[in-house]
């Protein structure tokens, strides 16, 4: 996770802080820019569903099938 968090931090979306009681703990906080991005992203699932022409049940089933296919391919490759 560290590389991803570093990229998010350098992009200005999050701020990392050490825990006050335990310095091993890293607390993540969204910046104002991160909050704006989060708000903008909340509509993405609805846009995908609308563009796909499928309802939530179909999309959930499709996701499960894709996961099962990936697992079968990984198992076959091993």
| pLDDT for residue 78 | 86
Q: Is the pLDDT confidence value at 68 over 90?
A: yes
> Against a cut of 0.85, is the pTM above it?
no
Dihedral over Cα of 57, 59, 63, 68: its sign: positive
Q: Is the pLDDT confidence value at 36 over 90?
A: yes
Residue ranges of the domains in the chain?
1-40, 43-78
């Amino acid at each position: 996770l560290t590389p991803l968090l570093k990229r998010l931090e350098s992009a200005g979306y999050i701020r990392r802080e050490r825990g006050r009681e335990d310095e091993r703990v890293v607390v993540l906080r969204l910046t104002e820019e991160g909050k704006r991005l989060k708000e903008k992203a909340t509509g993405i699932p609805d846009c995908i569903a609308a563009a796909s022409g499928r309802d939530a049940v179909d999309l959930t089933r499709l996701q499960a099938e894709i996961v099962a296919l990936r697992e079968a391919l990984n198992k076959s490759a091993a």
